[in-house]
Structures are given as C-alpha cells and as structure tokens.
Chain A
Amino acid sequence: MEIDGEKTLLERKQSTYISLDETFEIRKETYGGQQYSQIYFTRLHLMRTLLYSLVPNLKPHLPVCKILGLEKGKECIIVGTLYKHMKLKPSILDEYSKTRSVTPLVKPHNFMHPDDHLILEDESGRVKLGGTMLLPSSYVTGIVVALHGKETGAGDFFVQDVLEAGLAPQIEFPLESREDKYVVLVSGLSVGSSASNPLQFQLLVDHITGHLGDEKEQAIAAQIVHVIIAGSSVEIPRGLLNGQNLASQDQSRLSEPIKELDIMLTQIAASVPLDIMPGPNDPANYSLPQQPLNRCLFPGSAAYNTFRSCTNPHCFELDNIRFLGTSGQNVDDLQKYSEAKDKLEFMERTLRWRNLGPTAPNTLGCYPFMDRDPFLIDSCPHVYFAGNQDKYETSLLKEGQLVRLICIPKFSKTGVAVAVNLRNLECHTLSFGTQFDL
C-alpha cells in the first residue's frame, strides 16, 4: 500500500496550433445566380499555369496546344479538364423517365461501366481521348491533366503520355521537436444511432482525458495534444425533418443526440484542444466545403476556448506540421466513380492530382465558387486524413518528403480511433471495441 507516495503530476503537453481553414470558409459569398463553370474555369487556369511550367523540363521538344489548335497527326501537349462519360451515372432526369423500371438497375455504390470513356475539355472545346495510357477506370471528371499525344483521323486524341505534376511541395518538416506528441483522430461517432455504443465513446473520452488506466497509461494520455473529430458525430432521425411542424416528443428525439454529444465533448474540451468537423450526417449543410457546426448546438463545450468548430475539409498546423483532411466524402465519391486497390490509393491520387475533391462539383456537392477553387492543394500536408471509412488503413508516402495517409474508421462501427505521433508521423490505433471475438 502506498501512502503519501510521491504523486507524479502529469502535465499535458502543449503544441502550437494554427488554423488554415480560411480558404474553406464561405463568408461574404452568396448564391447570386453563378453556375459551376467558374470553378472549373479557375481550376483549369491555375493548374494550367503549373502544368505548363513542367513542359520545358519533361518534354522540351513538344509544342503546347489548345484543343482547338490540334492538327491531325501532330504530337503536342494539351492541358484540360477531364470529363468522364459514364453510362450508368445517375441523373436527376431519371425521375422523369417514361417507363418506371420495376427494379433499380444499378448498384448504388459504383457506377462504372466498361463503355465509360474520357474526354478532355478546355475553354475552347472537347476532344475524346483514346489510347491505353489513360485508363477511364482510374480517372474521374474534374481533374486537370497535361497529356502528350496526337489527334487521330477520327478526331480522337491518342494519348501517349500523361505529364504529372506530382505532390505539391511541403513546408519544411520541423526537426527540432523531438518529443512524442500525439494527435487523436476519430470520426463517425454517430451518437444517437443504433450502432453507437455509449460505453465505447465514454472509454475513448476517459482515455483522452486521462481517467483511464494506471500512471503509465495516463502518461501516454498526457502526450495527446489535440483531438480531431472528423465528421458524422451525431445521427439525427432524418424523417423528422420534412418541413412539417414537430410534435414535442419529436423535438426531444431530435435534440437528444446532440445534447449527449455536447456532454461528451465538454469532457474532452475541458482537458485537451478539440476540433470538430461536420460530416455527411451532421446538422450541417450538404455542399463542400461544409461550414462549421453552429456553436448553438454545443452550449456546453462551446464555452471552452479549446473547442473549435471547423470546416470540412479542415486544414491546420500543429507545431509546424500540416494536417489536411476531410470527413470522407471526397474519397467515397471517388470510389463511386472510379477504381483503386484501396482507399489509400484514392487519397494518394487526390494529392497527385493536387485536388482534394476533383469530383466536386460534378458528383460531389460543392458551393459554386466564383474566382477560386478551395480544393486545390498547393502545399502538400504532412498528415492527410479521410474520415468515416470502413476500416483503418494507413501508409507513408516517401517521395523526398513524407506524407502520412490515414483512413479513419467509423468509431461507432469499429471502436477504433487513430493516434499520430507528431515527432515521426508514426501512427497507431486506439481500440475501444467492447465486443471481442473470443
């Protein structure tokens, strides 16, 4: 029995935090009749400047053309926005189709078809792409690419090579901070859904706040410097929100999960800085970038200055290490319209394409920006995450610079949160699953 043993006072580590969400905020902008063409135009314009700068190094002998300037058989470089023609892509016009089919025709999770083909477009025109260099299955609408090839007799552009811009440059990786500091990433809490387990969540909170385990474990908890909640924190019964007046018992059913979440978040916010991002199921808008969840939803936690309601996508720096991530919509959308071996590959592609959500606005809801494209990645993050994935996956890209890719699993389904070490970008899971397969 220990009496008056010297109680080690664990002190939580600190880190400096800089929010970089400004580009994702919609403040003064309004819906004033603008359309989606502007965002494509801006994207093409910015990316073209970048891609053109690569040509002298990669293909110095080739001329650069616009689609209009193509001549039959002449090799050249063209830059444009890809458009993928997809047979099975659902369309709002299907609602009006003559014959209602008795059974839905397509599987809802993937709309690929062998007949899909790619088209390149710039402001001057469109051309169909041919050849085997560019597989329709791994590209989607909205990416700006530079292609080397020539026009064939049939009016197609035969692609011989794809010029890649590669990863964007990173800010310098800080070497001086050589101590372990952890950032906890969690998503898909889904408070209020049938899948969520309150105990599981409580264990997570207790672990973060240091109320769990012995000193050794608490010492680890003390190294947690930041918590990120990447979307889908609550699940609200959607059926209640059909515009009709709510009965009083429904009102409580609606606000109950939010209250519960607020209580838990208050516990976290009391001990460690917390960023909450909106996600697909949250009481937030639909289009990306999703704007911060309103503070009125969190009367308790919002009182702490450690509580930050952020945008989705979310970008910030902790001790000069740059984080960028989403609640997962961008990656999920890519999976519907293209193919890859795993989710990490989708994530890697978005970095190489230098666009967080190329399918916005085509299939990914998006605000019609006038003169900017907030999804462009001009500085590569050190940590890149996507929330609400089915399982935990991670990898480290090493191409002169390090990028940690993380798929954050849905907490309500898996009981898994992810911790990233700021010192070396190493990454491990915190598992609170209460069901064990014995």
Chain B
Amino acid sequence: MSNSGSARKRPLPPTKSQQPPPSKVQALGEEEFFDEDVFLDETLVPEDEESLILRDIEERQALASRLSQWARPPLSPAYVSKTQSILFQQLDIDYVIGESHRELLPNSFGPAAIIRIFGVTREGHSVCCNAHGFEPYFYISCLPGMGPDDISRLHKILEARMRESNKNSKVPQFVRRIEMVQKRSIMYYQQQKSQPFLKIVVALPTMVASCRGILDRGIQIDGFGMKSFMTYESNVLFALRFMIDCNIVGGNWIEVPVGKYRKTTKLLSYCQLEFDCLYSELVSHHLEGEFSKMAPFRILSFDIECAGRKGHFPEPTHDPVIQVANIVTLQGENQPFIRNVMTLNSCSPIVGVDVMSFDTEREVLLAWRDLIREVDPDIIIGYNICKFDLPYLIERAQTLGIADFPMLGRIRNSRVRVKDATFSSRQYGTRESKEVTVEGRVQFDLLQAMLRDYKLSSYSLNSVSAHFLSEQKEDVHHSIISDLQNGNSETRRRLAVYCLKDAYLPQRLLDKLMYIFNYVEMARVTGVPISFLLSRGQSIKVLSQLLRKAKQKDLVIPNVKQAGSEQGTYEGATVLEPRAGFYEKPIATLDFASLYPSIMMAYNLCYSSLVTPEDVRKLNLPPECVNKTPSGEIFVKSSLQKGILPEILEELLTARKRAKADLKEAKDPLEKAVLDGRQLALKISANSVYGFTGATVGQLPCLEISSSVTSYGRQMIEHTKKLVEDKFTILGGYEHNAEVIYGDTDSVMVQFGVPSVEEVMKLGREAAEYISGTFIKPIKLEFEKVYYPYLLISKKRYAGLFWTNPEKFDKMDTKGIETVRRDNCLLVKNLVNECLHKLLIDRDIPGAVQYVKNTISDLLMNRMDLSLLVITKGLTKTGDDYEVKAAHVELAERMRKRDAATAPNVGDRVPYVIIKAAKGAKAYEKSEDPIYVLENNIPIDPQYYLENQISKPLLRIFEPILKNASKELLHGSHTRSISISTPSNSGIMKFAKKQLSCIGCKALISKGTLCSHCKGREADLYCKTVSQVAAVEELFQNLWVQCQECQGSLHQDVLCTSRDCPIFYRRKKAQKDMAEAQKQLDRWDF
C-alpha cells in the first residue's frame, strides 16, 4: 500500500481497521506517483441489491418529486438523436478497467483501461466520456546492438516474468508490444540528435510499475547477459499520460464530433450524456476566446451537524448525524439556486429554505444521497469536508448498516471509497487526511485550500471568514448542539439556521477568493487535473509541463531512483547584511523581476544543456559556446542547444504578459476573473520550476541547475550593490553617496540620501535602467517602490511606508514582525501595530514610547482587557501522548475534571491565560481557562506577559530607534505600581471575612458608604463610581448588541461561544462587571 496519497482508484476496504496505519518511512519525501487499477465489476453492487435500492426510492416518492425539480436541464433533440457534436469542459479524468470495446477496438480483447472524462456542456448537461484504446507504456534505453530478434526475445522474457509476479491476473497478455523508437534523454547535453529507445506497451496501468521493477532489477537476455535497464517516464500517472498525449490540460474544453461517438449500451453513470469513443477522436481545444470560459458547473456546499455526547468529540460509531445543510450554486451566478436543510425530527420552517424533516437518521442520510444524485453537483465544497463531514457520513452509514448510502459518485451503484492518506510535501509539510473518492465529482475542501495558500493565526471557519469576509460567525459549542436537537422544532430550527450558515460560508469564501477561477486556470496552465491541485504537491505541476514539452521535442525523462538526501544541499540565496536602523530618508527598492526564471533563461540552464565533467573533456566544446556558472557547472549556450526549461519559462512568461494585457482590455467581470487567475497561475508556475530542480527527493532533481541559479542570484545582488555604490557618489556628480543598506533574495534597498520621495524615485529609475543594461536579457532590475520611513530590524524583518507615487503612500508594509504569529496574544499584535502606526505614519516617536508605557502600566495595574491576553493553541492529542507537558494540554485535563461537557477535546483549540501561581510553579501549571479566570477574579501574571510576550517584539522595533530601549520601555517608572486582583475562591481567601470598607479610602467601616473623613468628598467619589458604571454599561450594550447582530436575531438569546471571536471574553466580562458595578452603586442608595 502506498503511503503517500496518490492513486485515484482503490477498492473500498471492508472495514477501516483492517488497514495498517500508514508507515512514516517516506513521510519526508516528495510524493511518488502510483496508479492503482480498479476493476469495474468489483465496485458495483450486485443487481438484486440494486433493485432493492430502487424499491426504496419508490417508497420515498414524495421526496423524489421534491428533489427532481432541481435536476439538470433536459437534453435537446439534437443531443438525443446524436446529430450534434458534444462539446464539454472536463473537470475530472480517471480510468477504470473493463472489457475492451468490441466495436471500437475489434482487434483487442481482455481487460483494458478505459479513460473516463467527466465534464459539463455549455448548456449544463453532465457528460461522461469513455475513451477507449489508450494504452499504458513507458520507455527503456535500447542496448547497443539490439536487433528485432533481440527485442522479441526480450518481449517473451518480460512476459514470462510478468506472469510470474501477477499469478492471479486474468489478463491474456501482459506486455502488449515493444517498439523501437528514436528519442533522446533529457539529461545532459548530447551531440547526437537521437538514439534508439524501446517503448514497452503493457495491458494495464499498474503493470507499468511492476514491469519497471523487473527491468530495474535486471533480466537475463541471451547474448547480452544479465542487464538492468534504466526506465524512462515510468512514473507518470495513467490519466496524466493520457492528457499529455492528447494535449488535454486540466479544465479545458473537449469536443467529440458527430458520428465519432456512440451511446453506451449499458449505462454505467448517472450523467446525461454518456458515450464511448476512441481516444484519438477527441478534439482538445486551446484556451482562447469561447474556450477560456467556464461551463455552468454545479457547486454543492454542505455542512453536517452531529449530536455529540457530553465531553466527547462526535464519533461516527456513536453519534447521529442530525442535520445536513446544502447550498447549490451555478458557476457564474451570484446567488445559490438551492438552499435546503435536512433535519432529524421536526424543524420549523425557514424563509427561503426548503426544510426537509425526517423521523430517522437513515432517511436523512438517504435523502442526502438522493439530493446528490438529483442535483448532480460537479464540485463538492465545504469546510473540512474531506477530513470530517464526508468520512463521517460514510462511516455513520456503515455503523447504521445503510449499505446503499455511499453511492455518491456518478457511476451507477458504485460506492465511494474512503482511505487514510498521508500527504507530504516539502512546501506544505506532512498532513494526515482521509481520502474519500467520489467518482466524477471534484472535491474542494476550503480548509485544505486555506492551509495551503494562506498563513493565518487560526483556521477555524469563524476566524477565516472574519479575516476574508470581515464577518464574525456565530459559534455554537458542540455541547449545546445536542440540547438544541433534543428541544423542540424551534430549537432545531435554530440549529438549522446555524448549519445553513456554515454551509453558505465556504461558498462565499470560494467566490470572494476567486478559487474556481484560480484553480481552473492553474490546472489549465500546468496541465494537471483540477483534483491534483489540492491533493498533491508542487512537483507534479512542473513534471506535467516538462513531460509535455519533452514529448514535442522527442525527449524522454528518466525515472531517477529516489536518491534520498545524499546529494546534499547547496548554498541558498544571499542576504546582504542589513544595516539595522530607523531610516528617515526615503529608501529605494530595486527588485529583480522573476529573478530565478530570468537567470535560467539568460544562462540557458536546463537538464538538456548541462555538460557532465567527463563530457567537458571529451567533447572539447568551444569556450564561446558554453557558460561556466559561478558554482562551477558548465552549460551550453542556447546557440548550441536551447534548453527545455528556459523554453517552458519563456512560454509561461510570455503567456503571462499576454494574459495581463488581455486583462487590461477585458470588460466582462467573469472574463477578468479568468484572466487574473491565469496570470497568477503562470507566475506561480514559473517560480516553481527552480524549486523542482532543487527538490532533492523530487521527481527529477538536478542540483547543478539549482545551485547555479542561486549562485548567479548571489552574484547579481553583489554586482548591483557594487554598481550602485560606485556610480551614485558625490564624485560621480550626485548630491550624496548612495548606500546599500540591505539586500535580500531578489531585491536591494538603496539609500540615495536625498530627502524627497520624488527625487529618490527618479534616481531609483535611473539606477534600475543603468544596472539592467549590464545584465544578459531577460534579467531585469526594476524600480517599483520607495520605503519612507523605513525601519530595518534584521534579516527579513522590516517595516515601512510603501510609496509608489510621490504624492501619497500606498500602505504600511511589514515583514517578519509579529502580527500574525499564532501563539501570541492579541495584546502583542495590537501593541506592535499601534507602535508601527505611530512611528511610521504619525512620525511620533515619543507618542509611541508613551503608548507602550501606558499599555505596560495598564497590564501591571490589572486594567487590561482579558481578551487581549488570551493565547490559543490547538489540542492535537490527549495529554498522555504529549511527551513534554504543555500549558494548553494540562489545562484541558484540568478542565475535564471540572466539567467534562465543556472541556476542549482533541481537535479543539484551547484558549488560556497565564495566571499568577505559587512561587516556583512550572510554566505549564500556570495556564487557566479565561472564563474561569473571569468568574473567580484570578490574578493574571503580568510579568509573564511582559517578559515572554511583549518584550521581544517591542525591543526589536525600538532598538534601532532608542538607545536604552529595554531600560526605557520595560523598566521605567511606569512599571513601579502594580495591582493584583484578589481571587474569590482560592486559598486563604476562603477563610477571609469580608468587611465593608469606605469607598473613598478603603478604611474599614461598620455601615454605610464612606468613613467620616471622606464624608465631605461624597460628590466627587460618587461621580467616580457612577462614571465607572456608565462606562461598563456602554460597553455592555455595544457588546451584546453586536452579538445579536452576528447571530441575526433580536428575539433569541445569544448562544454563541466562539472563543475565536475577539469580543467573546469582553462580553462575558462586561456581564460580570455590570453586576459588580451595580452593587457598588447600590451602596450609595441610603
């Protein structure tokens, strides 16, 4: 079993537990690709079972008619009579093993791989195209002197060995044929144009791998002895192979002309148009004009609610699914056209939503399946659906014994398959996930997309939507969900509204972030199926482009054995040592535009232009035809042999230029979205080529290329620094000596010394032009922006105001400064932001210092809003599994002892604050639940926050500005007075007797409000008390009104317990403060 998530098709394991847990051996590596064959018959439900299901459907006629109004538009007569060619946008391509088609392929027999292409026509009809005749193959290099007889001998030996290792297979012939072709390996510069290779065609896709294994290990051939063969292109997934050979890219339009297709005799799918054809008859359209548009896909966004038991995260073996909310939208429309919710037990109606209530969970699940079948979504989206919702539904159905539930795919009677998968890649790290295969429907989990594309402090749906949609979402704690479910139809309605919102938000995120456009364009640019983009890493995208290009040039790509990390590492990008400081003169930034791609193009760096050290000696190349890179490698110049990588890059960058130009012209917002997505995809793709060559455990690592790239990069940064500092001098006729204060991977910061932004921009442009002239095209230095003022802290840490025009700054730009670190409390973020704002925008250093002092004083005086001090960490395992004791884990344990129902479970995020504890208490013992702290007046530990949270980021900012930053900010007079609240429930306070004290001077009194001394100050003391009350009242009102707003109801109590919401603790605190303030005020009523 492969552990690095891959194959498209796997049979459903009888039970989950039988699967061995994925081993971690390859967890560090880039993915490796495997095909896995799925036999059509194995996945299908036996006929009698099918009829049983059908009967069941009849019983639920009422529901069926309710759902059928959402079916796809009926086929036009031209389609029915097959007098129209079928043009569709494909979304998913996979394959299945079936009998070869007798009519289309009269000469073949036995099992064969059938490519299935799923898509949508312009009219919105669903399409399933079975393409026949495409055969899996790979190459090996031909041994010198091999003749036709040797080849047929090889064929026989190979066939025999294959039969030996696949004893159970019913395939009549394993190796279909072996052909000799003229190709050339992509590796290294070679003078001869081509050499013979053997193309080995096998019967089924999985046989590529087993055949490769045999050839790798070596076979005995008469006359040649024991030989092992280097294989080429033997690790290409079958579906991708098909796409490459047919020039199909992910998400493009495919046409099947009239007469070239025939209706499938026995329909296998639920698609409206299902037909068979030869793969060679497919016409793949280029992405231009009409064909760059999107078909009206149906996008289903859904969310489920489960009734968990108190104290447990819902488990499919115990806890029922109680609601499923669905939102269906047509691609290109603003509003969903279906909104419904399926509930267990009655539920009051919701305006604009179709509420379907059922008495049993079985009916709920089956209704959802019927919905999927009727609505027939092309894309299924949701938040964490891949890891939670979908596997939960399927496992739940298994527990309930609903055998006919998991038929959610487009293939009739075929069950979806769930398996554990580990996805690991250098860029995204290792993540465990469940893989649910729903045939013919693309799954797009917004959570996975978020994790992939954005660095956020929290990935809860609430905080993600707060971040992107600027909306807080009501969060109902799972302990309340069961209560709502067990209430009446009104409380269940409440839950349904909540569930609907959770289903709608992913759709809105998808729209807001243009995900459909960006991902479809990425698939089109890189040529991989859309589903690969989320489930796989970067390298397959580059590999796909490389394979396409290689095919055009008759090159073949060797399957390099996983070399591990023995090749070692190489020197990375350079950073010019920053001269830290606060620069109050404008700083010009000179950027290299797409530096690494430009270098590869300029110096023709490629696999096919690299000359091996032996060849350097042997070939005796003229020096004017080669480049020696700063890292010592030799590459031939493009005049001799143009590299493939430079060519790919050139195409990508030209395409990007064109897309950007078209974008300017475009009027239609949808067209704009497509083009913008395309240019973005092109940019990302161009930049990932370099990484592909440097991935030591990747598909085709070539450190000679990547180390050359970075060495050129370093050279260029140094070169730029030198040129700037040589040319822009007083001696050279300029006002000041220019100074390079910092340089990073692809940019150089220059202080020209001139005070006006406009002057600096002029000089910046001049410098960029001058220096660009000294580089080989297309390497280009660009001047884009000025930082003024600029706070340079250290490597990759800086902040400044960003100017692109001399009139007004565009924004404040910060890098590497704590504003989004997860384990920081909000206080740090606010403090840092406010300070930067004061320093950079207001240019008010004393103001910033004062602000810091006030904040520290507030902290020490216990006046800080508690929500600012909350630290949040995810609980990934239970306490025993953690080796080191961690604050949040310990707290979760303690909370479980207090109240198991509301304690955080594995998977939850645990918010905590650090409290003052006994001397010598360990850090992890000092964590406490913020609510508990509020309720019991537990003092927080200001020293912890001062030292462990705010001091470092603050000093980083202020050290370049103030001389004695630490002394001034952290140890000044403002840190002298400290106030600590008295806990109400702990230790000695339990025995303390409370006595009245004078409000004015805290002297003990026996009755009344004030002592005799303070009597005269009644009025002003009263004013003080009442103004505090007024302040709390105002806060109370603002907070609770906001929460009503969020939950979208005035007449119902706020239930939300979203601890991600910044005002959650404040709201709690306001409620408590209010009660106390009123008590204080009541003392004056005498």
Chain A residues near B433: list those with CB within 8 A: none
CB pair B1027 A251 closer than 8 Å: no
Complex alpha-carbon distance, A275 and B371, angstroms: 68
Question: Which residues in window 1022-1051 of B have CB below 8 A to A?
Answer: 1022-1024, 1026-1031, 1033-1034, 1036-1042, 1044-1045, 1048-1051
Chain B 466-509 residues near chain A, CB threshold 8 A:
467, 470, 472, 490, 493
Residues on the B chain within 8 Å of A258, using CB: 1019, 1023
**Chain B neighbourhood of A141, CB < 8 A:** 1050
Which residues of chain B have a CB within 8 Å of any CB of chain A? 348-352, 467, 470, 472, 490, 493, 811, 826, 833, 837, 841, 863, 1017-1020, 1022-1024, 1026-1031, 1033-1034, 1036-1042, 1044-1045, 1048-1054, 1062-1063, 1071, 1074-1075, 1078, 1081, 1084-1085
CA gap between A155 and B336 in the complex, in Å:
13
Find out whether the CB atom of A294 lies under 8 angstroms from the CB atom of B1052: no
Which A residues are CB-close (under 8 A) to B493? 125
CB distance from B214 to the nearest CB of A (A): 58
In the complex, the answer to whether B1062 meets A96 with C-beta atoms within 8 Å is yes
- Shortest Cβ-Cβ A-B pairs, 3 listed: A155-B352, A286-B1030, A241-B1027
Q: Do A92 and B1042 contact each other (CB < 8 Å), given the known contacts A41-B1051, A123-B1051?
A: yes
Pick the interface stretch among A7-15, A28-36, A162-170, A198-206. Answer: A28-36
In contact, A92 and B1038 (Cβ under 8 angstroms): yes
In the assembled complex, how far is the CB of residue A365 from the closest CB belonging to chain B, in whole angstroms?
A: 4
Assess the A121–B1051 pair: CB atoms within 8 A. Answer: yes
A254 and B1023: CB pair below 8 A?
A: yes
Interface 0/1 of A81-109, CB less than 8 Å to B: 10100000001110111111010000000
Judge if A283 is at the interface, Cβ distance under 8 Å.
yes
Contact A366 B1019 (CB under 8 A): no
Expressed in whole angstroms, the Cα–Cα distance for A105 and B465 within the complex equals: 22
Q: With A241-B1023, A286-B1034 known to touch, is A121 a contact of B351 (CB < 8 Å)?
A: no
Pairwise interchain contact B1054-A296, C-beta atoms closer than 8 A = no
Q: B1050: which of A33, A121, A155 is its contact (CB, 8 Å)?
A: A121
Chain A residues with CB below 8 A from B1063, complex form: 92-93, 96
Q: Indicate if the CB atoms of A30 and B1078 lie closer than 8 Å.
A: yes
Contact residues in A for B349 (Cβ distance below 8 Å): 68-69, 125
User: Within 8 Å CB of A413, what residues of B?
Assistant: none
Asked if B1023 and A70 sit within 8 Å, CB to CB, the answer is no
Give the distance to chain B from A243, nearest Cβ to Cβ, in Å.
7
Report yes or no: B348 in contact with A124, Cβ–Cβ below 8 A.
Answer: yes
Smallest CB–CB gap between A73 and chain B, Å? 14
On chain A, the residues within 8 Å of B470 by CB distance are 97
Q: Which residues of B contact A259 (CB under 8 A)?
A: 1019
Q: Is A67 an interface residue (CB 8 A)?
A: yes
**Cβ–Cβ contact B1037 & A366, under 8 A:** yes
Q: Which of B490, B1024, B1044 contacts A36 (CB 8 A)?
A: B1044
A37–B1051 contact, CB under 8 A?
A: yes
Q: A241-B1027, A286-B1033 in contact; A93/B1062 too (CB < 8 A)?
A: yes
For residue A30, which residues in chain B have a CB less than 8 angstroms away from its CB? 1075, 1078
Cβ of A19 < 8 Å from any Cβ of B?
no
Say whether A31 contacts B1074, CB under 8 Å.
yes
**Could you tell me if B1050 and A40 are in contact, using CB atoms closer than 8 angstroms?**
yes
Closest to A82 in B: B1050
Residues of A234-273 contacting chain B, CB below 8 A:
236, 238, 241, 243, 246, 251, 254-255, 258-259
Contacts of A123 in B (CB 8 A): 1051-1052
CA distance A99 to B814 in the complex (A): 12
Q: Is the CB of A284 within 8 A of B1062?
A: no
Q: Does A231 touch B at the CB level, under 8 Å? A: no
A residues apposed to B, CB below 8 Å? 30-33, 35-37, 40-41, 44, 67-70, 81, 83, 91-93, 95-100, 102, 121-127, 141-142, 151, 154-155, 236, 238, 241, 243, 246, 251, 254-255, 258-259, 283-287, 294, 296-297, 299, 361-363, 365-366, 368
- Residues of B contacting A33 in the complex (Cβ-Cβ under 8 angstroms): 1071
Q: Cβ of B1018 and Cβ of A296 under 8 Å apart?
A: yes
The answer to whether A31 touches B1034, judged by C-beta atoms less than 8 angstroms apart, is no
* Residue among B350, B1018, B1078 making CB contact with A31, cutoff 8 Å: B1078
**In the complex with contacts A33-B1071, A67-B351, A126-B1049, A236-B1078 CB distance below 8 A:** no
> Which chain B residues border A368 with CB–CB below 8 Å?
1040
Question: Which residues of B are found within 8 Å of A31, using beta-carbon distances?
Answer: 1036, 1071, 1074-1075, 1078
List the B side residues contacting A246 at CB < 8 Å: 1020, 1024
B1062: chain A residues within 8 A (beta carbon): 93, 95-96
Q: A40-B1051, A96-B1062, A365-B1037 are in contact. Are A68 and B351 (CB under 8 A)?
A: yes
A241 touching B837 by the CB < 8 A rule? no
The residue in chain B whose Cβ has the minimal distance to the Cβ of A125 is B351
Main secondary structure, interface of A, reads: loop
- Contact call B1054/A35, Cβ cutoff below 8 A: yes
Residue of A nearest to B1035 (CB): A92
Q: How far is the CB of B499 from chain A (nearest CB, A)?
A: 15
* A44 to B352 CA separation, bound complex (whole angstroms): 23
Taking a contact as CB atoms under 8 Å apart, the answer to whether B833 and A122 are in contact is no
Residues of B within 8 A of A294 (CB): 1022, 1026, 1084-1085
Measured in the bound complex, the distance between the Cα atoms of B1024 and A405 in whole Å is: 35
CB distance from A367 to the nearest CB of B (A): 8
Residues of B within 8 A of A238 (CB): 1027
Contact sample, A vs B, 23 pairs, CB 8 Å cutoff = A31-B1036, A31-B1075, A35-B1054, A68-B351, A70-B351, A92-B1063, A96-B1063, A125-B351, A127-B351, A151-B351, A155-B351, A251-B1017, A255-B1017, A285-B1030, A286-B1029, A286-B1033, A286-B1037, A287-B1034, A287-B1036, A296-B1084, A299-B1018, A362-B1050, A366-B1037
How distant is the Cα of A296 from the Cα of B1016 in the complex, in angstroms? 10
Chain A residue, CB-CB nearest to B820: A98
Q: How far is the CA of A243 from the CA of B863 in the complex (A)?
A: 9
Given A35-B1044, A255-B1020, 7 further pairs, Cβ under 8 A: A31-B1071, A37-B1049, A37-B1051, A96-B1063, A121-B1051, A286-B1030, A365-B1037
- Which of A44, A236, A363 makes the CB contact (< 8 A) with B1023? A236
Q: Which residues of chain A are within 8 angstroms of B1018 by Cβ–Cβ distance?
A: 296-297, 299
Best-buried of A81, A95, A236, A365 by chain B (most CB within 10 Å):
A365
Instruction: Tell me which of B1028, B1036, B1038, B1051 contacts A44 (CB under 8 A).
Output: B1051
The answer to whether A93 touches B1084, judged by C-beta atoms less than 8 angstroms apart, is no
Q: Are A91 and B1020 CB-contacts (below 8 A) given A35-B1053, A81-B1051, A243-B863? A: no
Taken together as a complex, chains A and B put the C-alpha atoms of A97 and B471 apart, in Å, by: 10
Given A81-B1051, A96-B1062, A296-B1019, the answer on whether A243 and B1041 have CB atoms closer than 8 Å is no
B351 and A283 within 8 A (CB): no
The listed residue with most B CB atoms (<10 A of its CB), out of A93, A121, A123, A297, is A93
Taking CB atoms, residues of chain A closer than 8 Å to B1042 are 91-93
Cβ–Cβ contact A283 & B1051, under 8 A: no
Contacting residues, chain B, for A361 (C-beta < 8 A): 1037, 1040-1041
Once the chains bind, are B1051 and A241 in contact (CB under 8 Å)?
no
Report Cα–Cα, A366/B1034, bound state, in Å.
9
Judge whether A284 and B351 touch: CB under 8 Å.
Answer: no
Q: Which residues of A contact B1081 (CB under 8 A)?
A: 285
Across the interface, do A37 and B1023 meet the contact criterion of CB distance under 8 Å? Answer: no
**Contact: A365 with B348, CB < 8 Å?**
no
Contacting pair B1053 A37 (CB below 8 A): yes
Q: How far is B1041's CA from A93's CA once the two chains are assembled, in angstroms? A: 11
Closest to A70 in B: B351
A297 to B1022, CA, bound (A): 8
Complex Cα–Cα for A363 and B1044 (A): 12
| Set of chain B residues within 8 Å of A35, measured between Cβ atoms | 1040, 1044, 1053-1054
Q: How far is the CA of A314 from the CA of B1029 in the complex (A)?
A: 21
Interface centre among B472, B1033, B1054 (most CB of A within 10 A): B1033
Task: Kindly provide the distance from the CB of B641 to the nearest chain A CB, expressed in whole angstroms.
Answer: 51
A contact residues around B1027 at 8 Å (CB): 236, 238, 241, 283
Contact B1075 A32 (CB under 8 A): yes
- Per the bound structure, the CA–CA distance linking A259 and B1045 in Å amounts to 43
